[in-house]
Structure 1
């Protein structure tokens, strides 16, 4: 996909990987950036940062709760009327609660399912229907390495990221006849402000969000269904394919539960 001149919508754009993606895309000659997140002040800060870069890109902020289907529907319809077709949708919004499964709370589980799955479904459905009419478009769902290798203390988060990969694969088959590409981005543990409070997994060196954003841009130039970020991720996935029993043991040893009990309700944004 050639980025110059395109209109791109990024969810979860106020911080972490979403913010890094927005900043990286601004360097790529795109025409317009639609930035979605709950926090309007943080979105305005990202917009100001892009403006200070001196690049020629129009930035539009859309403060939205993706779990509010009515508000999302209205916002996308209005944005499509005001700013024209969206060429690229990047679903980056996501939350995670780190705790042992036996200590987890149903309210936390519902939060993760609502944002990571229902929120992604809401906006993807609205944008995809419009892309079908224009017979072109690209959708990227930001999953995680934990969408391939589940991690203790992150049971629900891992489940949502596995589900996102299934969702992506299904959409890829359904939307291909309409000339719409659907891809997945799989970062590993990423060094963001929220993950710094995470109970650490041993053997994992966090990648910087800028590297994830650069990998996304490079992946867009290739016809690949999944963009895997970092050598650690590639190594882990090879181990998972060749010796899944070994990968499971390594994951168990690396988990915080093998060191000390994680603080209940510690909230992180993994991707």
Structure 2
């Protein structure tokens, strides 16, 4: 348990760069010309409120050509769409209701996108759930249907969109290109009772990011932790530390869609890490696979662990 008197304690425990950001900074700001979204079409899932909504608005501020937002609540989607248009009147906006985890809904969504928008350049999979936050039920006490429904939304949901994103190209015999970003969580990196479904699902999408990276070399894939953001999924026990604005996620998603972030392809990052400090260590990050998952804590080489022979 982190020290509740220190608002940075929990974030610091997963900090990779010397500098920690808990506010938007110039390198990832939507107003930074280097993060311009001009000419790009983006789809943001789970965009009715919270992080997803702010990500969509960040892309509007960066001048995206088209923004597709999706979520369950049609009325809220329309409100977000109107807000996007106020921020960027020239941006084409499509607000399409869809149930995360529904194959039929996702297929219909992408058919409508093809007809109204055309090609999606950037897919941002934000929609997710954390059912266990209510009481933290451990294995054997959480209903199997509830446990599995989190997998359906947090894993199957992103894959359905990724499948259709790739089909834009594969269905016509082209090699896929573009950018896929999946929101994961630092919860994937530690063990805590009562969080099995959430932690497992968030680790799986990091692995999915890594596998997509090697399966489709033309697609830029990333997973990132959005920080401790005050949303309806926030944990009360960490309320004093939950101060990261969702704008950090919006800014980082813009940065990841640019060539500057190519050295991070196929990896997991956090909104709290400084992107310029990571750029300075790009060669080391790639050579040592510092931001990739590992099966064991032991450092295995081509012939296994170099234990000394016991005499």
Same fold (TM over 0.5): yes
In structure 2, what is the equivalent of residue 206 of structure 1? 243
Q: Distance in 1 between matches of 2:143 and 2:202?
A: 19
Q: 1:143·1:164 contact (CA, 8 Å) conserved in 2? A: yes
Alignment of 1:139-218 (within 5 A): 139-176=180-217, 179-192=218-231, 194-195=232-233, 198-201=235-238, 204-218=241-255
Say how many residue pairs are matched. 234
Provide Cα deviations, 1:140-173, integer angstroms capped at 9, x if missing partner. 1111111223433322101100001011110111
In structure 2, do the counterparts of structure 1 residues 69 and 55 end up closer, same or farther at CA, with 3 Å as the change threshold?
same
Greater helix content: 1
Q: Distance in 2 between matches of 1:20 and 1:220?
A: 16
Moved runs in structure 1, 4+ residues, more than 4 A?
A: none
Q: 1:66·1:123 contact (CA, 8 Å) conserved in 2? A: no
| Structure 1 gap segments, 5+ residues each | 245-271
Q: 2:60·2:91 contact (CA, 8 Å) conserved in 1? A: yes
Deviation at residue 86 of structure 1 after TM alignment:
0.6
Segment of structure 1 superposing worse, 145-154 or 107-116: 145-154
Q: Distance in 1 between matches of 2:157 and 2:67?
A: 20
In structure 2, do the counterparts of structure 1 residues 88 and 104 end up closer, same or farther at CA, with 3 Å as the change threshold?
same
In structure 2, do the counterparts of structure 1 residues 104 and 49 end up closer, same or farther at CA, with 3 Å as the change threshold?
same
Q: Distance in 1 between matches of 2:195 and 2:69?
A: 28
Provide Cα deviations, 1:185-227, integer angstroms capped at 9, x if missing partner. 22232112x035x332388443111122112222333111333
In structure 1, what is the equivalent of residue 302 of structure 2? none
In structure 2, do the counterparts of structure 1 residues 162 and 87 end up closer, same or farther at CA, with 3 Å as the change threshold?
same
Deviation at residue 182 of structure 1 after TM alignment:
1.1
In structure 2, what is the equivalent of residue 115 of structure 1? 153
In structure 2, what is the equivalent of residue 256 of structure 1? none
| Structure 2 gap segments, 5+ residues each | 1-34, 278-289, 298-311
In structure 2, what is the equivalent of residue 12 of structure 1? 46
Q: 1:32·1:59 contact (CA, 8 Å) conserved in 2? A: yes
Q: 1:93·1:115 contact (CA, 8 Å) conserved in 2? A: yes
After superposition, the CA RMSD in angstroms is 2.7
SS of residue in 2 equivalent to 1:185: strand
Based on CA coordinates, which of the two structures has the bigger radius of gyration? Answer: 2
In structure 2, do the counterparts of structure 1 residues 204 and 131 end up closer, same or farther at CA, with 3 Å as the change threshold?
farther
Q: 1:131·1:180 contact (CA, 8 Å) conserved in 2? A: no
Q: 2:122·2:257 contact (CA, 8 Å) conserved in 1? A: no
Please, which of 227, 244, 249 is the counterpart of residue 269 of structure 2? 227
